[in-house]
Amino acid sequence: MASKRVLLIAGEFAEDYEAMVPFQALQGYGVAVDAVCPGRKAGDFCVTATEQMAGHQTYSETRGHNFTLNATFDEVEGSNYDALVLPGGRAPEYLTQNVRVVELVREFSTSGKPIATYCHSQVLLAAANALKNRQITAYAPVGPTLIAAGANWVEPQSLESFVVDGNIISSVCYLAHAQSIHHLVKAMGGTITATAKRILLLCGDYMEDYEVMVPFEALRALGCHVDAVCPKKKSGDTCPTAIHDFEGYQHFIEKPGHDFVLNATFGDVDASGYDALVIPGGRAAEYLALNETIISWVKHFVESNKPIAAISYGQQILVAANVLKGRKVTAYPAMKLNMVLAGATWIEPNPITLCITDGNLITGASWLSHPHFISHLMALLGISVSF
């Protein structure tokens, strides 16, 4: 049983990353997270919004993943939880009208339990009368509302800005996830051990949106140094991502995701300087598998017995590197033929959340596997979170 429990209050058009990244990262650390939405029960979903700066005067928005709730709002008792997470996006503006949501926020505030807020969700603290004389930041246009609520407004210096004031951790947007999640774990009494590992994250155009951002931020929140690289691109360049979601068809659908910003240059990489390799899925993997440098990196990690973690379609790169013979492997179901022809021992991804470890090799079936994927990688790296 998880030693800590977190409540996450979502709503229609909550920002996609701001719901899923803390939801899966915290579970990966062994924290139980209940995601709820007013009027919804466990198994229902909320439509999310993919929001990002795209060269205009404000952010752009497209439809994101369908975020599946795992608890029922009407059954929630705030006293059963150790912390509260409030994703941003457009959901908070209408959640301020829900009396029970505001009561829950006020309950966490008055009890002094940690509250992590993002982007626009700080308005829920305003609605709960919880901001008087508190230092707070948020997405800049939210500032006037928070000032009117009595907050000591901290002007954001960048989209990665965050502020910690007592039990409130406020962030400008999802780009502060690594810091905010780290502080949330600490605020719940968590101790993170064996940090400072160096991780190489393979990226490419149209990799799956969650499958790059969730491990990127979850590992950085633990204190790991993560270098995200893509062939023919340098630090500061972007890769478009793809949202792969399940909407009742025989195969997943694809929608445009966030643009993921690389933080390292492909040509500068020395694979021997890293402790683990992470390979997201999506459509990028099929062309990254043709890159000879990437194949050499994979072989280095295999020969050095360093952890390799691949998810969904990312296993195609392992096939190309000819490193799967006799290894137990899972992947997205459509990848079965590829894995079998590569000599792997295929493990059916049933359930689709499946993640397995065989020696230094971790394979996950889909982004739904992330909590297990993160915890398995932590185990191989010797990283732990204890409360």
Q: What is the pLDDT of residue 248?
A: 87
Query: How is 14-76 classified by DSSP, letter by letter?
Result: EEHHHHHHHHHHHHHTT-EEEEE-TT--TT-EEEEEEEE--SSSS-EEEEEEEEE--S-GGG-
CA distances from 108 to 102, 114, 167, 345, 363 (A): 10, 7, 9, 48, 38
User: Could you give the percent of the chain with pLDDT greater than 70?
Assistant: 99
Nearest CA-CA partner of 374 in 7, 1, 24? 24
Active site residue 224: no
Q: Cα-flanking dihedrals φ and ψ of residue 259, to 5°?
A: -85, 120
Q: What is the pLDDT of residue 255?
A: 95
Location of structure tokens 């919880």? 130
Could you state, in order of their start, the residue ranges of all structural domains in the chain?
5-189, 193-386
Over residues 170-186, the pLDDT tens digits come to 999 999 999 999 999 99
- The single residue of 37, 46, 65, 120 carrying the catalytic annotation is 120
Active site residue 119: yes
Over residues 216-231, the pLDDT tens digits come to 999 999 999 999 999 9
Phi/psi zone of residue 380: left (φ > 0), alpha (ψ -120 to 50 degrees), beta?
alpha
Q: What is the pLDDT of residue 347?
A: 98
Answer whether 5-189 and 193-386 agree in fold. yes
Q: What is the pLDDT of residue 2?
A: 61
pLDDT band at 271 (very low <50, low <70, confident <90, very high): very high
Over residues 111-154, the pLDDT tens digits come to 999 999 999 999 999 999 999 999 999 999 999 999 999 999 99
Q: How far apart are CA 42 and CA 45, in angstroms?
A: 8
Omega within 30 of 0 (cis) for the link into 141: no
Over residues 78-87, the pLDDT tens digits come to 999 999 999 9
Q: How far apart are CA 317 and CA 284, in angstroms?
A: 10
Over residues 89-116, the pLDDT tens digits come to 999 999 999 999 999 999 999 999 999 9
Q: How far apart are CA 386 and CA 72, in angstroms?
A: 28
Q: How far apart are CA 340 and CA 29, in angstroms?
A: 32
Q: If you average pLDDT over residues 351-371, what whole number do you get? A: 98
Cβ neighbors of 150 (< 8 A, separation 6 or more) are 131, 132, 133, 134
Average pLDDT value over all residues in the chain: 97
- The single residue of 37, 46, 65, 119 carrying the catalytic annotation is 119
Over residues 307-322, the pLDDT tens digits come to 999 999 999 999 999 9
User: Is 3.40.50.880 the CATH classification of the domain at 193-386?
Assistant: yes
Q: What is the pLDDT of residue 1?
A: 47
β-pair partners for 279: 310
Q: If you average pLDDT over residues 350-361, what whole number do you get? A: 97
Please tell me the CATH superfamily of domain 5-189, with its number: Class I glutamine amidotransferase (GATase) domain (3.40.50.880)
Q: What is the pLDDT of residue 378?
A: 98
Q: What is the pLDDT of residue 212?
A: 98
User: Could you give the percent of the chain with pLDDT greater than 90?
Assistant: 96
Pairing verdict, β 384-386 and 191-193: antiparallel
